[in-house]
Amino acid sequence: MAVNSPGSPRQKMINLMYLVFIAMLAFNVPVEVLDGFETVDKSLSDSSGTMLERNRLILDALADLRAQNPEKADEWYLKGLRIRSLSDSLTRYIGELKLRMVREADGRNANISRIRHGDDSEAASVIMLSPVNGEGKRLRNGIGAYRDSLTRLVTDPVRRAVIEKTLATQSGSGGKSWEASLFERMPLSAAVTMLTKMENDIRSSEGEALTNMLHNVDAGDLRVNRLRASIIPESDRVILGDAYKARVVLSAEDSTRQPRVVVNGEVLDGEENGSFSLRADRTGTFPVEGYVEVTGSDGAVTRSRFQSSYTVIEPLAAVAPTLMNVLYAGFDNEIDISVPGVAPQDVSATMTDGLLTRRGDMWVARPAAVGRSVTISVFARTAAGADVRRVAVKEFRVRALPDPAPYIEYSDANGNPVMFRGGGLQKAFLMNVGEVKAAVDDGILSIPFRVTGFRTLFFDSMGNVIPEVSDGNRFSERQRIQINRLVRGGYFYISGVKAVGPDGTEREIAVMEVRVR
């Protein structure tokens, strides 16, 4: 038996090592996806900071109302302090979990702002799902207790429903626990982003609860000389195909009078309590503006304006096999260039040794020559008025277009076009064929070539070769006469096919055998 035969122990070991290598490739997370998680994490952190400041202003307003009228406002102010204390405690705990995860992957000197091993898929599982000291169940119970505390304090049923939905901790699909569905084999960057989203949800729920505390104070007993309209989005970044959702609220509200709310020129239904949604059916940044009108007891109408914007982005997911980083020279290669969290109009790109142009939602790369790698650099303006900066660089190998295959196109009995690439063909179909075509059509590329000429090789009864030359890409009259003389089982060859591709080069391609059925 040969040393490397299929059944030998050595070959079995090689096969096993190959399977392990393929599995390792399957779990490799592209760096673009990790960068996308960092962008989302920063955006969520910024949003949490904004909501924290908004919540502080609401608490300050409750403190002012308490100072003016302790009898009516004291109860709600103390409940507001209780809500703030619960929120701070839970977000501190989540911050500690993020730091523990990063230290698990990067070591004791880890920096949560600069994660080195974002693709580590074990750190989150160790911290959150360890059978003995796993924090996942404790976190789920903590969020549940926080949710129950808030819903007991909130009197508005609509706000209670929002809080319950935002802080839901139901089990995942397939019978998995909530924590397993979120952190099992989750890359570190994704797990940290998920915890940042939880902090964001907590601050959002805190804001709902504090706003309810503020509304429970009877503002009619206090002097209000200024109304300020605000728009509160669930998120200012929207995935393509989803909807932008927000609420328009006033800092002071009279339950006996329904304000008139106008958003982007449309009057909202009064029963929606200022809630609205806008369909996100294309990417980009879009304005949200309007006003709120309130009629006072004296009949005077006070109008308060508001404005904001939201950004629609593509879903943050990418699958990029590294072995396919290939462009074809002299050919318009369509590529997709996008930056998570940045509108398409704020993205630009350049390419070395070739031409790169935007075509609708896609980009077209046309390398100049075979054998020289090209580099595509992507630039983005991440905020209004910000400088344009380079966000990605990627190298591509450049190859020549593969040779096309010749074929004969004819229509079957039902009139459907058929591409005949060799073998047996009925004589009736063959006699109706006028030309020979060529194309690269391998299921990945579909590129037509222009045939400039070919020859046919027939055989007489003595086995002598009878060559005939085409009329360009069409069968000549002499070739058609030879085809007509063929009987069932007879055959001929189409050879010397010359074809010109999009790159302008002429090449001689494969021979095709044709048999009469």
On whether residue 9 sits in a domain, the answer given is no
Q: What is the extent of the structural domain holding 269?
A: 227-320
* 3-state SS class at 395: strand
* 3-state SS class at 10: helix
Q: Could you tell me if 70 and 97 lie in one domain?
A: yes
Looking at residue 384, the DSSP 8-state letter turns out to be: T
Q: Could you tell me if 454 and 468 lie in one domain?
A: yes
Mean pLDDT within 199-213: 91
Looking at residue 289, the DSSP 8-state letter turns out to be: E
Q: Could you tell me if 289 and 169 lie in one domain?
A: no
Q: Which of 482, 492, 484, 490 is nearest to 517 (CA)?
A: 490
Tell me the pLDDT tens digit for each residue of 467-500: 999 999 999 999 999 999 888 889 999 999 999 9
In sequence order, the β-bridge partners of residue 448 are 439
pLDDT score for 251: 61
- Domain final position from 264, 289, 320: 320
Residue 9 has pLDDT above 60, yes or no: no
The dihedrals phi and psi of 458, each to the nearest 5 degrees, come to -105, 165
Q: Could you tell me if 358 and 452 lie in one domain?
A: no
In sequence order, the β-bridge partners of residue 458 are 466
In sequence order, the β-bridge partners of residue 292 are 261, 304
Q: Which of 291, 299, 155 is nearest to 215 (CA)?
A: 155
Residue 455 has pLDDT above 90, yes or no: yes
Under a CB-based contact definition with an 8 Å cutoff, are residues 191 and 129 in contact?
Answer: no
- Domain final position from 320, 341, 364: 320
Pairing outcome for strands 326-328 and 389-399: parallel
How far, in Å, CA of 376 to CA of 365, rounded? 9
pLDDT score for 450: 94
On whether residue 473 sits in a domain, the answer given is yes
On whether residue 8 sits in a domain, the answer given is no
On whether residue 66 sits in a domain, the answer given is yes
On whether residue 2 sits in a domain, the answer given is no
On whether residue 340 sits in a domain, the answer given is yes
Under a CB-based contact definition with an 8 Å cutoff, are residues 341 and 391 in contact?
Answer: no
CATH of the domain at 379: 2.60.40.1080
Q: Could you tell me if 392 and 409 lie in one domain?
A: no
Dig out the tokens for 505 from the structure.
């080069």
Count how many domains the chain has. 4
On whether residue 5 sits in a domain, the answer given is no
Mean pLDDT within 393-406: 90
Under a CB-based contact definition with an 8 Å cutoff, are residues 66 and 221 in contact?
Answer: no
Q: Could you tell me if 213 and 337 lie in one domain?
A: no
Tell me the pLDDT tens digit for each residue of 159-196: 999 999 988 888 766 678 888 888 888 888 888 888 88
Q: Could you tell me if 296 and 360 lie in one domain?
A: no
Q: Could you tell me if 376 and 449 lie in one domain?
A: no
Tell me the pLDDT tens digit for each residue of 310-339: 777 665 444 444 546 889 988 888 888 888
**In this structure, what is the dihedral angle of CA atoms 201, 240, 270, 83, given to the nearest 10 degrees?**
0
Residue 141 has pLDDT above 80, yes or no: yes
How far, in Å, CA of 184 to CA of 125, rounded? 5
- Domain final position from 170, 201, 218: 218
Tell me the pLDDT tens digit for each residue of 230-275: 677 665 555 455 576 777 766 665 555 678 888 888 888 877 777 8
Q: Could you tell me if 124 and 236 lie in one domain?
A: no
- Rg (Cα) of the chain, in Å, rounded? 34
Q: Could you tell me if 422 and 281 lie in one domain?
A: no
CATH of the domain at 294: 2.60.40.10
Q: Could you tell me if 195 and 49 lie in one domain?
A: yes
Residue 511: other Cβ atoms inside 10 A = 14
Q: Could you tell me if 135 and 193 lie in one domain?
A: yes
Residue type, position 326, single letter: V
Residue 347: other Cβ atoms inside 10 A = 19
On whether residue 430 sits in a domain, the answer given is yes
